[in-house]
Structures are given as C-alpha cells and as structure tokens.
C-alpha cells in the first residue's frame, strides 16, 4: 500500500543523520548539463524527485551512473531538446532545466510544469527573464518552444523573490555573452550551493548569498565534483517532530547556520536548542507554548516549507497562536485533517489561529503534497493511538525514508 502506519504517543530520543538537500541537488543536477564532460555529485539524496530528474536528463542524452549517494553525470552527449511530457508532468522542477538546456543546445520544447495543491506555481518570471537574454518563446496551449541564437547578458529586476526564477537565470547567465545582474534575487542557501558548484566549475559569479548577483559569462565550464549540503527542511521537520512529541534528539549534520529562524521558532515554543558543527540537539521536556506569531518569509526568514510541520506542533502547544503564510496561496491543506485529529484551528485567508489541545487522536489521513504529508506523519507520531497516512509517494519526493528516520528517534511507524 502507498501508506505509512504510525502508533503515536512516544517521546522521541536518539539521533538521525540528515540527508542531502533536495532543493539544492535539483538545480545542481540542472547545472551539470552546462558542462561538456563529467560531474560527480556526492551526498545526493535517494528521493523520487532526484530519480525523475535523472531520468529526464537521460532522455536528454546524458549518461548517469549512481553509486549509493554519489551520482556521476556525463553531459557530453546532451543533444535532444524536447523534454518527455510524462517526466515534466511528474516533476515541476523540470523547469529548472530550461536555462541550462538553452545555454547548451539553444532550443527547448516543453510543456508547462503546472501547479500543485499549494499554489498555481506560475513561471512568468522565468520566461520574462529568458526573453531579456535573447530567447524567443512561442507559447502553445499546453507548453512552449524556446529558441535562442545565443544567450546574452541582461539586467533583471525580479518584482518578487523567486527561488526558481533566480536559479534559472543564473543557469542561463553563466555561459551567456556578456554580463548579467539579478536584482532582488532569492538568497536561499540552495542558491548559494548552486553558485558554489558553478564557481567550482569555473563560472564567474559575485554577490553569492546576497540579493544582487553579478554573473560574467564565460566560454566553458570544466568538470567538477561537489558534495550536496544537508537538507535544512528535512532537519527542520525533525525539530518540529520533537516539538510535537517531546523528548531529546540529535540531528547529525543539520546545517545550523541555515536554520536560525527555525531554531528561534522552536526555542520560542520552549525547546532547548544546542548548535554545533556536528549538528543540532533539540530538547523538549516541558510542555510547548505557542510561538509569538509565526510568519513565513523568504530566506533568512521562517521557511514556508516548514509551515505545515510547525502548525502540527502548534496544535499541541499551550495557549493561542497565529501562523501566517506569505509565499504560497494555498498552503493550509492539512488543516481539515488536523481538525479530524482533534486540533482546534480557525482558518482565515492566509492565516490560521490555533488553540492548543492536550492530545491529538490518531486517525486515517491523506497526504496531498510533500511537506503537508510529512507534517501529518509527525502529527501521527504525537497523537494517541494508530494513524495511517495515505499517499506516502508525495512524502517520498523529498524524504529518503521518513519512517526510518523517525524510528531512529524512537517513533513507531512503518511503511504499509
């Protein structure tokens, strides 16, 4: 069955190694297309989004070899420029290949990646920026054909902060003729990782980690090996699991420096947080209290990808609390299911007001997307009795093995 069975109520104790970052490795795999040769990517998480991305790259005539968490990409043979619709449909992140493929082959045909339950996920900023760099884009009903005689540098002033648009424009700029400036660029650590990979391969990028990126196009990039950083969202999910269940956990390899807003939110709910270069120790002995107003924001603010997990934790905290979502228009999908477990949540437009309860009751739940699904699993770990979270395939998009990880921390859950 495509489900996870949980017997909740245990406090969490133990340690777990944090996997490589999904949102860092996907653009880095796209960047490997820019290199006429071999790249070796270490600490690559074994998740379905990576599997689909690698299949898509093979369909573009890349040679892929996987050995455990190391992936070897040979992009010397990249030629085909139409992405198989079934792969694009499965994988929104295929849009990330656009900039790199245009830089490499000069033409791409693909269908629109489409939205998902958390939002319409438009790509207008991607297409607008590429047009400014000399790309002619003919939109069709279900997709578009993009052509360029050669990418040229441009100045982009992004009207809103977009991780994907920033990544696509960086990938298009590194081999373009001339200089590119991206103002109001996203500053997520995953963009810093992408720039680090590209600089290691010979790209000229300044302003890494700031909202203004300056890229000087170069002739060619060279072969490179790179280790993917740990996944701050997976680590933050397990911080929230400890808040939900109580206990003491050690998240080995958690990227503390990238998790300041997450650690601050956990500490505001009564958790003890101890950061070291080995990882993060989280202690939740006392009952949790509500955070003084949690609002999602672009990095370095509190990440939207942990909004659902911290909402689950807030349902079991003392008092009243408010959580506001400012990035996506429909990211409170798990509220009805948390209510089914006994949570008291009042939903307004992009805010929820939570009144903490003493316990949640296990029940049958249904994941509808990646991070909401993970939040339902940790709510099940805290609930009394048995829960079943259906559609575990959504969770496997971004978590190597959430059951194994949570069981390492003393939870009782297993794949069905």
304 touching ligand EPZ, by CB under 6 A: yes
84 touching ligand EPZ, by CB under 6 A: no
98 touching ligand EPZ, by CB under 6 A: no
In the complex with ligand EPZ, which residue's Cβ is closer, 238 or 328? 328
In the complex with ligand EPZ, which residue's Cβ is closer, 186 or 245? 186
* Residue in 116, 353, 361, 407 annotated catalytic: 116
409 touching ligand EPZ, by CB under 6 A: no
371 touching ligand EPZ, by CB under 6 A: yes
Among 18, 25, 26, 345, binds ligand EPZ (CB under 6 A): 26
Name the CA dihedral angle for 136, 165, 79, 154, rounded to a multiple of 10 degrees. Answer: 50
Quickly list DSSP for 285-297: -SPPB--S-EEB-
E strand or H helix that includes residue 314: helix 307-314
Encoded one letter per residue, x for contact with ligand EPZ by CB under 6 A and - for no contact, window 104-133 reads ---------------x-xxxxxx-------
Q: Which residue's Cβ lies closest to ligand EPZ?
A: 164
339 touching ligand EPZ, by CB under 6 A: no
Do the Cβ atoms of 230 and 254 come closer than 8 Å?
yes
E strand or H helix that includes residue 185: none
Q: Minimum Å distance from CB 10 to ligand EPZ?
A: 26
In the complex with ligand EPZ, which residue's Cβ is closer, 49 or 248? 49
99 touching ligand EPZ, by CB under 6 A: no
301 touching ligand EPZ, by CB under 6 A: no
Among 6, 146, 163, 316, binds ligand EPZ (CB under 6 A): 163
Q: Where are the beta strands (DSSP E) in 83-221?
A: 107-111, 135-139, 143-148, 155-157, 179-183, 204-206, 212-216
In the complex with ligand EPZ, which residue's Cβ is closer, 139 or 278? 139
Annotated catalytic, 116?
yes
What's the angle, vertex CA 194, arms to CA 20 and CA 32, rounded to 5?
90
Q: How many CB atoms lie within 10 A of CB 123?
A: 19
300 touching ligand EPZ, by CB under 6 A: no
Chain center to CA of 173? 23
Do the Cβ atoms of 356 and 319 come closer than 8 Å?
yes
Quickly list DSSP for 47-60: -HHHHHHHHHHHHT
Q: Minimum Å distance from CB 48 to ligand EPZ?
A: 12
Among 370, 375, 388, 406, binds ligand EPZ (CB under 6 A): 370
Is the N-terminal amide bond of 300 cis, ω within 30° of 0? Answer: yes
């300041």: which residue's tokens?
Answer: 260
Among 213, 398, 403, 406, binds ligand EPZ (CB under 6 A): 398
Among 93, 94, 180, 408, binds ligand EPZ (CB under 6 A): 93
E strand or H helix that includes residue 82: none
HEC letters along 243-283:
HHHCEEEEEECCCHHHCHHHHHHHHHCCCEEEEECCEEEEE
Residues at the contact surface with ligand EPZ, assessed by CB under 6 A: 22-23, 26, 93, 119, 121-126, 160, 162-165, 186, 190, 304-305, 327-328, 370-371, 398
List active site positions.
116
């Amino acid at each position: 069955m495509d489900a996870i069975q949980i017997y909740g109520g245990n406090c969490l104790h133990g340690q777990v190694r944090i996997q490589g970052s999904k949102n860092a490795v996907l653009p880095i795999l796209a960047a490997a297309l820019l290199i006429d040769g071999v790249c070796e990517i270490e600490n690559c998480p074994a998740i379905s989004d990576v599997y689909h991305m690698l299949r898509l790259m093979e369909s573009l005539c890349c040679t892929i070899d996987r050995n455990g968490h190391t992936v070897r990409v040979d992009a010397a043979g990249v030629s085909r420029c139409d992405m198989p619709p079934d792969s694009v449909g499965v994988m929104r992140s295929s849009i990330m290949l656009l900039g790199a493929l245009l830089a490499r082959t000069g033409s791409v045909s693909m269908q629109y990646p489409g939205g998902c339950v958390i939002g319409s996920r438009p790509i207008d900023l991607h297409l607008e920026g590429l047009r400014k760099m000399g790309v002619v884009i003919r939109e069709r009903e279900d997709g578009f054909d993009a052509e360029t005689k050669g990418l040229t540098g441009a100045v982009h002033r992004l009207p809103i902060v977009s991780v994907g648009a920033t990544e696509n424009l960086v990938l298009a700029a590194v081999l373009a003729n001339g200089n590119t400036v991206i103002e109001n660029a996203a500053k997520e650590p995953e963009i810093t990782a992408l720039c680090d990979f590209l600089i290691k391969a010979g790209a000229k990028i300044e302003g890494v980690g700031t909202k203004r990126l300056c890229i000087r196009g170069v002739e060619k990039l060279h072969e490179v090996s790179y280790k993917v950083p740990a996944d701050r969202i997976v680590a933050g999910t397990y911080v929230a699991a400890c808040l939900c269940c109580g206990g003491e956990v050690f998240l080995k390899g958690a990227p503390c420096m990238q998790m300041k807003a997450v650690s601050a939110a956990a500490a505001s709910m009564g958790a003890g947080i101890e950061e070291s270069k080995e990882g993060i120790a989280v202690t939740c002995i006392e009952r949790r209290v509500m955070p003084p107003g949690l609002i999602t924001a672009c990095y370095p603010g509190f990440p939207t990808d942990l909004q659902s997990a911290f909402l689950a934790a807030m349902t079991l905290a003392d008092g009243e609390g408010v959580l506001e979502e400012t990035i996506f228009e429909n990211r409170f999908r798990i509220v009805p299911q948390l209510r089914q477990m006994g949570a008291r949540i009042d939903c307004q437009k992009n805010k929820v007001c939570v009144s903490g309860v003493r316990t949640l009751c296990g029940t049958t739940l249904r994941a509808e997307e990646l991070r909401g699904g993970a939040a339902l699993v940790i709510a099940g770990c805290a609930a009394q009795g048995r829960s079943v979270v259906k559609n575990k395939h959504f969770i496997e998009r971004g978590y190597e093995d959430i059951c194994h990880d949570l069981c390492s921390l003393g939870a009782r859950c297993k794949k069905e």
